[in-house]
């Protein structure tokens, strides 16, 4: 759509700008402020320059958390995106059963995150939880409070449970936008099921899948509540992802300088990845 | 290429149709001759798209058979029938280039590579898309996209028929004419059987050798454009074809006498005793106006000057009655309508009755 | 293969429902039975946990607090985002694209980063432990989202509608409320749904910004887990109750959910 040049439109954006700035800029300044200072209490601060940044970037602890974060994010993306697309493809296109599917699938998305954590905490308990008990009954030794592998398995299963529906809904919305005649033409052209997916469905879903990948990347990168309630980052620190480590540093150890420097590095990384992804897909779109 | 036979075909979208009214397509028997250019004409919802989808195999009819030459294809899927179809909105594969789009139906049918290349090249030349061959199909204009849709059919040399479902709806007016001309040329050159669905009479009459007029799920007339104009088989055809449509007035017929209010006219033919609603139809082109009172008294309500002729909108006994006069003719003050008796058709319950000469 | 297609969504839904069933199952058991061992159904069916919750003010006020700040946040987010989304969808102005991207970056901000500074900010504003503090804090991610979704819907409305209305002598506020808003009604509904959803499920900020007066249900649940021993039955019942508002909301917007996701443009 052709848009009109009108700088007065700023006035319409102003309220949003103010309220978001209050929430974003002031806390961000606080974080930046902490990240370059040190304190011994009594509100006395010393300027430390980039000391905290150097310390964070050199620490094994940060590297560990970062590696675990990437492992987590890429694993859940690799499972949730293909699975979500497959489910959306298999769903009825309209009618009563489509509604039933949508309502039931959306349910996990509206459960408070700490309840999701608590629910899986109970569900995976080796003695009284269905999942934990079931796996042990099958002869697979499973105890997420003791074994790192079990803990990872549970955290990833929980995220797949919690968020695959988002991908399903987005992919489904993309599929709904395809005109019936595309399928008819493909049938007349003798296209195989795979060709229909590759040349009709996938291109039409590209846009919504971009949104899905972006949202899942951002949200999994900032995940905190669910794994914290489920495993508390344990056993040991085997499932300690970035946010959990950050809150440990800030509130557990009250190490504000380190925590703030971590926050900023962490925030910049998210921003960079999203920006790259955004620019690349936008470029692709223009061509 | 093949002759297509519709044998007692009927279709209902309901699982258990009870009455005639439940059928979207009432029984039809027809043979589409090999190499013919047909138009399926009718208003929206008359069943023409249903019929087209049955021919292409996208729909399985509830009753009857469909034959390509002597082969029964009723149960065959579209890809096994070897037909091509062009839809109302251009269907193209966005991510492919123009050439890849055209190669797609061939690649799906495992045609050898060099053969594909040759045929795609020919088709591109045929459609004047030479300069666009390596471009992504996405950014093209609507008429270019529609050409690609058509090209995907033409590239398969041996298609039994090419079906068009209102293919020019989204095309700019000046491109419509050009594309239609190109279609006719292709038809002359390759002789594919073509079936063209439209609700636009100009499109139908200029494209087709034979026009099939449909109304409420029924085929009401099949004929050349001249036949549709001179002898509409149903009053609907009279209204629908021609601009303005045919004048239809209730009347009485006895032998070769036609009584219309107080007027009596002598017809060219003799008619048997007619039951039900009897009407006469005459095209406005065959109505003249007279100033000396010899004819039907009419009330002129408007005169539209279209340049090459004038349309006189009038009323007779509360019914609309139009006349088309040549350019420059004056409309008299107390005009009466003079009807050419050779051009009168007689209808019984909306269907044409042919008298004896 | 086509005949077995229904199996895929069915198995997936089964996978989704099992943990919820387990929570439901637990909530109808006594604590003793829960700790006693594994069982598919409650042996002694009891609704004591639910009665506890509905009779204890610290429990049910948690729900009320959550609903208040979620409602406040939804209203604030949608009403602030409406004019902004209109500006983005209709006009070009200085820095519009940068502003839009900056707004979206706030959707990417990890709440864990902001928890502590938020606590300090809202304390210094004197808003600590109020509903409005949580509602405002949640605007950080909900307003960008609301602007994003609404802009998508508004761009789908032809500009000619605006122009016709002005020619007919409508003032901007009257045009906006009488003509434009009804046109994007479903868009507003979808946006409100997403604001509700993200505010309802977020617990980290809500927990850090409150202590007694505006304490959300999440914080109450944490207390149960820590102070009064391990009351799994009560915890499960509270969990089940947090699912219900979401389920009701989903039921009402079921036909718009998929569309709402697709309308937002990256």
> Which residues of chain A are under the pLDDT cut of 70?
1-2, 39-46, 281-287
User: CATH no. for residue B58?
Assistant: 3.40.50.300
The pTM of the full predicted model, rounded to 2 decimals, is 0.81
> Which of A79, A97, A73, A81 is closest to A208 using CA atoms?
A81
Alpha-carbon distance B331 to B218, whole Å? 40
Tell the residue number behind the tokens 């492919």, with chain if given.
Answer: B96
pLDDT, tens digit, 9 for 90 and up, residues B75-121: 888 888 888 888 888 888 888 888 898 899 888 888 899 989 898 98
Distance from CA of A287 to the nearest CA of B (A): 9
**Over the range A219-247, which residues count as b (16 or more CB within 10 Å of their CB) and which as e?**
bbbbbbbbbbbbbbbbbebbbbbbbbbbb
Indicate whether B229 and B330 sit together in one domain: no
**Helix axis angle, C57-90 to C131-155, nearest 10°:** 30
Alpha-carbon distance B211 to B227, whole Å? 10
Q: What is the widest separation between alpha-carbon atoms in chain C?
A: 75
Indicate whether B212 and B252 sit together in one domain: no
Q: How far is CA C202 from CA A116, A158, B109, C59, C258, in A?
A: 11, 17, 54, 18, 22
Distance from CA of C69 to the nearest CA of A (A): 14
Task: Determine whether the interchain pair A247/C115 forms a contact, defined as Cβ–Cβ distance below 8 Å.
Answer: yes
What does the block give as tokens for B226? Answer: 């001249």
Alpha helices in B217-299 (DSSP H): 225-230, 235-240
Task: Give me the total of CB pairs closer than 8 Å, taking one residue from chain A and one from chain B.
Answer: 52
Report the 10 Å Cβ neighbour count for C221: 23
Task: Determine whether the interchain pair A190/B108 forms a contact, defined as Cβ–Cβ distance below 8 Å.
Answer: yes
**Count helices and strands in chain B by DSSP H and E runs:** 9, 22
> Which of B48, B29, B32 is closest to B40 using CA atoms?
B48
Q: How many domains does chain B have?
A: 2
Indicate whether B266 and B322 sit together in one domain: yes
- Higher pLDDT: C227 or B187? It is B187
Give B77's contacts in chain A (Cβ within 8 Å): 187
- Mean pLDDT value of segment C230-258: 81
Q: Which domain holds residue B158?
A: 4-240
Alpha-carbon distance C72 to C145, whole Å? 16
Which helix (H) or strand (E) is B223 found in, with range?
strand B218-223
Alpha-carbon distance B353 to B346, whole Å? 6
Please report whether residue A122 resides in a domain. Answer: yes
> Which of A282, A244, A257 is closest to A61 using CA atoms?
A244
User: CATH no. for residue A69?
Assistant: 1.10.3720.10
Q: Under the phi-then-psi rule, with left for phi > 0, alpha for psi from -120 to 50, and beta for the rest, what region is C195?
A: alpha
Give C159's contacts in chain A (Cβ within 8 Å): 1-2
A235: which DSSP letter? Answer: S
What does the block give as tokens for A284? Answer: 């692709």
Q: Burial level of B338, CB count in 10 A (0-12/13-18/19+)? A: middle
What structural domains and CATH numbers belong to chain C?
A: 1-46 (no CATH), 57-263 (1.10.3720.10)
Alpha-carbon distance B85 to A187, whole Å? 10
pLDDT at A1: 53
What are the residues whose beta carbons fall under 8 Å from the beta carbon of B84, sequence distance 6 or more? A188, B150, B152, B153, B154, B156, B159, B161, B162, B163
Task: Determine whether the interchain pair A266/C110 forms a contact, defined as Cβ–Cβ distance below 8 Å.
Answer: yes
A249: which DSSP letter? Answer: I
Alpha-carbon distance A163 to A212, whole Å? 10
Please report whether residue A22 resides in a domain. Answer: no
Alpha-carbon distance B3 to A280, whole Å? 53
Give B148's contacts in chain A (Cβ within 8 Å): none
Q: How many domains does chain A have?
A: 1
pLDDT at A45: 66
- Higher pLDDT: C211 or C140? It is C140
Chains that touch A (3 or more CB pairs under 8 A): B, C
Tell the residue number behind the tokens 């209730």, with chain if given.
Answer: B250
Indicate whether B187 and B220 sit together in one domain: yes
Residue C223: band (very low, low, confident or very high) from pLDDT cuts 50, 70, 90? low
- Higher pLDDT: C254 or A218? It is A218
Alpha helices in B93-234 (DSSP H): 98-108, 113-126, 142-154, 173-190, 201-207, 225-230
Q: What is the distance, to the nearest Å, from the Cα of residue B156 to the centroid of all Cα atoms in its chain?
A: 26
What does the block give as tokens for A250? Answer: 């800030």
What are the residues whose beta carbons fall under 8 Å from the beta carbon of B182, sequence distance 6 or more? B127
Indicate whether B226 and B120 sit together in one domain: yes
Q: Tell me which of B207, B240, B273 is where a domain ends.
A: B240
Residue C266: band (very low, low, confident or very high) from pLDDT cuts 50, 70, 90? very low
Alpha-carbon distance A205 to A56, whole Å? 40
Distance from CA of C191 to the nearest CA of A (A): 14
> Which of A46, C233, C32, C213 is closest to C221 using CA atoms?
C233
Q: Using CB atoms, pick whichever of A181, A187, A203 lies closest to residue B95.
A: A203
pLDDT, tens digit, 9 for 90 and up, residues B246-260: 999 888 888 888 888
Task: Determine whether the interchain pair B91/A182 forms a contact, defined as Cβ–Cβ distance below 8 Å.
Answer: yes
pLDDT at B89: 86
pLDDT at A42: 57
Residue B146 has pLDDT above 90, yes or no: no
Give C105's contacts in chain A (Cβ within 8 Å): 271, 274
Give C109's contacts in chain A (Cβ within 8 Å): 24, 222, 267
> Which of B330, B289, B326 is closest to B310 using CA atoms?
B326
Express as a percent the part of chain C with pLDDT over 90: 15
Please report whether residue A36 resides in a domain. Answer: no
Please report whether residue A1 resides in a domain. Answer: no
Q: Burial level of C29, CB count in 10 A (0-12/13-18/19+)? A: buried
Q: Tell me which of B240, B257, B286 is where a domain ends.
A: B240
pLDDT, tens digit, 9 for 90 and up, residues C87-97: 998 888 888 88
Contact C235, A118 (CB under 8 A): yes
Q: Which domain holds residue A119?
A: 60-251
Give C6's contacts in chain A (Cβ within 8 Å): 90, 92
pLDDT at A165: 92
Residues in chain A: 287
Q: Tell me which of B240, B260, B285 is where a domain ends.
A: B240
Indicate whether B209 and B318 sit together in one domain: no
Alpha helices in chain B (DSSP H): 48-56, 78-81, 98-108, 113-126, 142-154, 173-190, 201-207, 225-230, 235-240
Please report whether residue A287 resides in a domain. Answer: no
Indicate whether B210 and B264 sit together in one domain: no
pLDDT, tens digit, 9 for 90 and up, residues C181-208: 888 887 888 888 889 988 998 888 888 8
How many Cα neighbours within 13 Å face the side chain of A153? 15
What does the block give as tokens for A182? Answer: 């595309």
Please report whether residue A260 resides in a domain. Answer: no
Q: How far is CA C211 from CA C102, C133, C208, in A?
A: 32, 12, 8
pLDDT at A283: 64
Indicate whether B251 and B217 sit together in one domain: no
pLDDT at C260: 60
Alpha-carbon distance B275 to B273, whole Å? 7
Please report whether residue A5 resides in a domain. Answer: no
Indicate whether B266 and B195 sit together in one domain: no
Which helix (H) or strand (E) is B315 found in, with range?
strand B309-316
Residue C227 has pLDDT above 50, yes or no: no
Indicate whether B57 and B191 sit together in one domain: yes
Distance from CA of A196 to the nearest CA of C (A): 15
pLDDT at C224: 58
Task: Determine whether the interchain pair B93/A181 forms a contact, defined as Cβ–Cβ distance below 8 Å.
Answer: no
pLDDT at C18: 92
ipTM of the prediction: 0.85
The 3-class secondary structure across C187-226, one letter per residue, is HHHHHHHHHHHHHHHCCHHHHHCCCCCCCCHHHHHHHHHH
Q: How far is CA C124 from CA A33, A203, A228, in A?
A: 17, 51, 29
Alpha-carbon distance B266 to B288, whole Å? 17
pLDDT at A160: 95
Indicate whether B226 and B257 sit together in one domain: no
Whether chains B and C touch (3+ CB pairs under 8 A) is answered by no
Tell the residue number behind the tokens 């594969």, with chain if given.
Answer: B93
Which helix (H) or strand (E) is B269 found in, with range?
strand B263-271
User: Whole-number mean pLDDT of chain B?
Assistant: 86
Distance from CA of A122 to the nearest CA of C (A): 8
Tell the residue number behind the tokens 């073509």, with chain if given.
Answer: B194
B63-68 β-sheet, strand order: B25-32, B4-11, B63-68, B71-72
Alpha helices in C91-180 (DSSP H): 96-107, 111-124, 131-155, 159-167, 172-174
Q: What residues of B are in the A interface, CB distance below 8 Å?
A: 56, 58, 77-79, 83-85, 87-89, 91, 93-96, 104-105, 108-109, 136, 149, 152
Q: Burial level of A253, CB count in 10 A (0-12/13-18/19+)? A: exposed
pLDDT, tens digit, 9 for 90 and up, residues B26-74: 888 888 888 888 999 888 888 888 888 888 888 888 888 898 888 888 8
User: Whole-number mean pLDDT of chain C?
Assistant: 83
- Mean pLDDT value of segment B328-341: 82
> Which of B58, B59, B55, B78 is closest to B67 using CA atoms?
B55
What are the residues whose beta carbons fall under 8 Å from the beta carbon of A34, sequence distance 6 or more? A256, A257, A259, A260
Q: Is C163 helix (H, G, I), strand (E, B) or coil?
A: helix
pLDDT, tens digit, 9 for 90 and up, residues B148-206: 888 888 888 778 888 888 888 888 888 888 888 888 888 888 888 899 898 888 888 88
Indicate whether B278 and B232 sit together in one domain: no
Residue C265: band (very low, low, confident or very high) from pLDDT cuts 50, 70, 90? very low
Torsion sign (Cα): A42, A46, A47, A49: negative
Please report whether residue A197 resides in a domain. Answer: yes
Task: Determine whether the interchain pair C105/A271 forms a contact, defined as Cβ–Cβ distance below 8 Å.
Answer: yes
A179 touches chain B (CB under 8 A): yes
Task: Determine whether the interchain pair B56/A179 forms a contact, defined as Cβ–Cβ distance below 8 Å.
Answer: no
Omega before B313 cis (within 30°)?
no
């Amino acid at each position: 759509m052709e848009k009109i040049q009108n700088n007065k439109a700023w006035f319409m954006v102003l309220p949003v700008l103010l309220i978001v700035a209050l929430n974003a800029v002031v806390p961000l300044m606080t974080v930046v402020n902490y990240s370059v200072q040190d304190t011994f209490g009594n509100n006395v601060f010393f300027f430390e320059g980039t000391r905290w940044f150097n310390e964070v970037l050199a620490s094994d602890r940060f590297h560990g958390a970062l590696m675990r974060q990437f492992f987590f994010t890429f694993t859940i993306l690799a499972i949730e995106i293909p699975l979500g697309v497959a489910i959306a493809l298999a769903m009825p296109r309209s009618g009563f059963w489509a509604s039933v599917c949508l309502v039931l699938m959306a349910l996990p998305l509206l459960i408070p995150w700490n309840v999701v954590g608590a629910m899986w905490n109970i569900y995976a308990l080796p003695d009284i939880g269905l999942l934990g008990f079931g796996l042990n009954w099958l002869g697979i030794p499973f105890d997420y409070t003791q074994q790192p592998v079990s803990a990872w398995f549970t955290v990833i299963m929980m995220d797949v449970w919690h968020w695959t529906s988002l991908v399903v809904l987005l992919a489904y919305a993309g599929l709904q936008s395809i005109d019936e005649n595309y399928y008819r033409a493909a049938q007349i052209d003798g296209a195989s099921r795979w060709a229909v997916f590759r040349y009709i469905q996938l291109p039409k879903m590209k846009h919504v899948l971009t949104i899905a990948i972006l949202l899942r990347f951002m949200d999994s990168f900032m995940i905190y509540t669910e794994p914290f309630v489920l495993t508390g980052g344990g056993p040991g620190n085997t499932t300690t992802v970035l946010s959990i480590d950050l809150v440990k540093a800030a509130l557990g150890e009250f190490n504000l300088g380190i925590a703030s420097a971590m926050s900023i590095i962490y925030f910049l990384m998210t921003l960079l990845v999203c920006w790259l992804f955004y620019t690349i897909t936008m470029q692709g779109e223009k061509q | 290429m093949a002759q297509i036979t519709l044998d007692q075909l009927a279709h209902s979208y309901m699982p258990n149709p009870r009455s005639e009214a439940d059928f979207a397509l009432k029984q039809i028997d027809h043979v589409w001759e090999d190499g013919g250019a047909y138009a399926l004409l009718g208003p929206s919802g008359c069943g023409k798209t249903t019929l087209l989808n049955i021919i292409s195999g996208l729909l399985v009819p509830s009753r009857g058979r469909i034959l390509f030459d002597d082969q029964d294809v009723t149960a065959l899927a579209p890809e096994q029938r070897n037909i091509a179809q062009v839809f109302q909105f251009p269907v193209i594969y966005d991510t492919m280039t123009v050439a890849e789009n055209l190669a797609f139906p061939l690649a799906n049918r495992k045609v050898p590579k060099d053969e594909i290349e040759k045929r795609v090249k020919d088709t591109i030349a045929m459609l004047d898309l030479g300069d666009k061959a390596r471009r992504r199909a996405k950014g093209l204009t609507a008429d270019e996209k529609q050409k690609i849709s058509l090209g995907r059919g033409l590239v398969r040399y041996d298609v039994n028929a090419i079906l068009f479902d209102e293919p020019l709806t989204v095309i700019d007016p000046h491109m419509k004419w050009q594309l239609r001309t190109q279609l006719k040329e292709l038809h002359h050159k390759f002789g594919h059987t073509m079936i063209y669905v439209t609700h636009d009479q100009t499109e139908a009459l200029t494209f087709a050798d034979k026009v099939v007029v449909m109304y409420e799920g029924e085929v009401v007339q099949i004929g050349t454009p001249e036949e549709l104009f001179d002898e509409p088989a149903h009053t609907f055809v009279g209204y629908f074809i021609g601009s303005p449509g045919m004048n239809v007035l209730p009347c009485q017929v006895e032998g070769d006498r036609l009584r219309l209010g107080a007027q009596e006219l002598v017809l060219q033919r003799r008619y048997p005793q007619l039951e039900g609603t009897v009407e006469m139809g005459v095209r406005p082109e065959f109505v003249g106006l007279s100033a000396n009172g010899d004819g039907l008294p009419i009330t002129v309500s408007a005169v539209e000057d279209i340049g090459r002729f004038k349309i006189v909108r009038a009323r007779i006994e509360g019914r609309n009655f139009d006349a088309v006069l040549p350019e420059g003719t004056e409309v008299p003050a107390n005009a009466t309508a003079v009807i050419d008796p050779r051009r009168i058709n007689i209808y019984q319950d909306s269907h044409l009755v042919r008298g004896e000469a | 293969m086509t005949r077995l297609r229904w199996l895929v969504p069915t198995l997936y839904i089964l996978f989704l429902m099992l943990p919820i069933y387990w929570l439901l199952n637990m909530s109808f058991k006594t604590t003793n039975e829960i700790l006693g061992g594994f069982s598919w159904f409650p042996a002694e069916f009891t609704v004591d946990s639910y009665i506890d919750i509905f009779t204890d003010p610290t429990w049910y006020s948690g729900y009320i607090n959550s609903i208040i700040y979620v409602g406040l946040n939804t209203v604030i987010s949608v009403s602030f985002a409406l004019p902004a989304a209109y500006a983005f969808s209709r006009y070009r102005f200085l820095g519009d694209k940068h502003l839009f991207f900056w707004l979206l970056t706030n959707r990417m901000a990890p709440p864990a980063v902001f928890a502590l500074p938020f606590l300090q900010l809202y304390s210094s504003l004197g808003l600590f432990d109020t509903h409005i503090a949580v509602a405002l804090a949640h605007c950080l991610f909900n307003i960008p989202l609301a602007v994003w979704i609404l802009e998508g819907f508004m761009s789908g409305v032809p500009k000619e509608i605006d122009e016709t209305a002005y020619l007919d002598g409508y003032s901007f506020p009257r045009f906006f409320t009488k003509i434009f808003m009804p046109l994007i009604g479903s868009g507003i509904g979808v946006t409100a749904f997403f604001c509700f959803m993200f505010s309802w499920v977020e617990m980290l900020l809500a927990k850090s910004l409150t202590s007694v007066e505006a304490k959300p249900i999440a914080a109450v649940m944490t207390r149960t887990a820590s102070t009064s021993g391990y009351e799994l039955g009560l915890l499960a019942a509270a969990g089940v109750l947090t699912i219900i508002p979401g389920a009701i909301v989903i039921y009402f917007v079921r036909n718009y959910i998929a569309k709402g996701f697709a309308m937002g443009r990256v």
